[in-house]
Structure 1
Amino acid sequence: MSEQTMSDEDIARAHVTPPTLHNAPVHLADYDPAWPARYERLAAGIRRALGGVVLRLEHVGSTSVPGLCAKPILDILLTVADPADEAAYVPPLEAVGYVLHIREPDWYEHRVLKVPGGEMPVHLHVLPDGCLEVPRMLGFRDRLRQHDEDRDLYARTKRDLARRTWKYVQNYADAKGEVVESILARAGVLPGGG
């Protein structure tokens, strides 16, 4: 949910392995009421794997908002004391099927681990406890859950943008920035940064 727009070089630099070219429209699925239960199962597994390393675990992204269309990828927010200390959480997560894909040391030490294949792709976003992006992610989710007009605006924006061809899915995410910021402003959430 960063305000920044990532260049091809930024995208490549952030990836632990080369990023996948998309070169297509983005597939959006209608809301599935099974998504929250999927999150609960995954969250339980993360808590078992990491124990006290977990400071906060939340279902975020479009799959966390009832009634909202979404890329069929479940986003989870995990906060830890220090995401740069990968030894504290990456090996236990790898042992249960997660793979480190993104490392952004210049943006809150953000990491993304993914679960390839399976029932539904998962993106586990790791951020430090107390960073500015955490209240932005949660404030955006909560605003969309509580205000149908903002949820509907975001859905229309997503559908319009999803029809275009995007080199990387990140480019699609960046294109939603203006509407995301307007919704966050109405929610009273301050702009982020890095």
Structure 2
Amino acid sequence: MCPPIRCQSAAIADIITFNDVKDPELWTRPTEPSAAIEIVDHDPAWADQFAEAAHQIRGALTPSGAFGGIDRVGSTSMPGLPAKPIIDIALVVADPSAEDDYVPALAEAGSGLTLREPVWYEHRMFKQLDSDPGQPGCNLHVFGPRCAEVARMRLFRDRLREHAGERGAYQSVKRTSAAESNAVGETVMGYNARKQAVVREIYHCIFEARGWV
């Protein structure tokens, strides 16, 4: 039997049900044209860069009471796995819809709001503004308490840290998908869509191992 997952009380039924809704209220800040999708070898320095960013975020949000938790997620959190040089962070706040409680503080800490998806777990995404040349970027994903998506991110990260075969399959589809997307000029959304079948297969293995499906 697998150990229980620390998922801030997200219900198992919610964790195993993917919310694939297309959000008609999605909002994005104007950005520069998308660059080619780059997959690079794992850099051990990513761990320290996450720790520094997490320290800044915690310090910015703790005084207001908005801070609920923070996790290192995504491919850069998995030692040995090639990844886009972008640190992915999952941030839990008390109420993602109450943007005045955290958006200004994150802006002062150097992160700007780039995407809002109210019907997809109240997701907001921030990107690091004016990052130093040659340093990895940062995608800060904001969700509310007991969010199933945050639980899935943790499960996926921990599974690939521990299972070399599945990590290898994910590495392969990442490189293939990046090459295919770059060849036709797709954005990262197209790249993610190309990976989805393999990602869902890995999630099925996770859920099956825990007796959830």
- Provide the TM-score with structure 2 as the length reference: 0.80
Matched ranges for 1:60-139 at <5 A: 60-116=73-129, 117-118=131-132, 119-139=135-155
Report the equivalent of 1:155: 171
Q: 1:33 to 1:96 in 2, by over 3 A?
A: same
CA contact (8 A) 1:4 1:174 kept: no
- Match of 2:28, SS state, is coil
Q: Summarize the alignment of residues 136-147 of structure 1 with structure 2, pairs less than 5 Å apart.
A: 136-147=152-163
> How far 1:25 moved relative to its partner?
4.6
Take 1:72 and 1:115, find their aligned partners in 2: how far apart are those partners? 13
User: Is the Cα–Cα contact under 8 Å of residues 20 and 168 in structure 1 kept in the other structure?
Assistant: no
- Provide Cα deviations, 1:3-29, integer angstroms capped at 9, x if missing partner: 6386xxx69x5233236543x652101
Tell which has more relative contact order, 1 or 2 (C-alpha 8 A, sep 6+). 1
Aligned AA (2:60): A
| Contact preservation (8 Å) 2:90, 2:140 | yes
Specify which of 183, 187, 195 is matched with residue 176 of structure 1: 195
SS at match of 1:150: helix
Offset at residue 106 of structure 1 (A): 1.0
Q: For 2:146 and 2:201, how far apart are their aligned partners in 1?
A: 23
Please provide the CA RMSD for this pair.
Answer: 2.1
Gaps (5+ residues) in structure 1?
none
Check whether the contact 1:76–1:125 (CA below 8 A) recurs between aligned residues.
yes
Q: Distance in 1 between matches of 2:203 and 2:78?
A: 15
Q: Kindly name which structure, 1 or 2, has the bigger radius of gyration based on alpha carbons.
A: 2
Tell me what 1:48 maps to: 59
Percent of aligned pairs with the same amino acid:
41
Change (3 A) 1:152 1:171: same
Partner SS state of residue 91, structure 2: strand
Letter in structure 2 aligned against 1:133: E
Indicate how the Cα distance of structure 1 residues 128 and 34 shifts in structure 2: closer, same or farther if over 3 A, else same. same
Q: Give the TM-score taking structure 1 as reference length.
A: 0.87
2: CA distance, partners of 1:95 / 1:25: 29
- The reply to whether residue 14 of structure 1 matches residue 30 of structure 2 is no
**2:66, 2:95 within 8 Å by CA — same for their partners in 1?**
no
8 Å CA contact 1:25, 1:163 repeated in 2 = no
State the number of aligned residues. Answer: 184
1:27 aligned partner: 38
CA–CA separation in structure 2 for the residues paired with 1:4 and 1:178: 13
Q: 1 CA distance for matches of 2:191 and 2:20?
A: 13
What amino acid sits opposite 1:146 in the alignment?
A: E
> Deviation per CA, 1:116-145, whole angstroms, max 9, x where unpaired?
332321000001111211111110011011
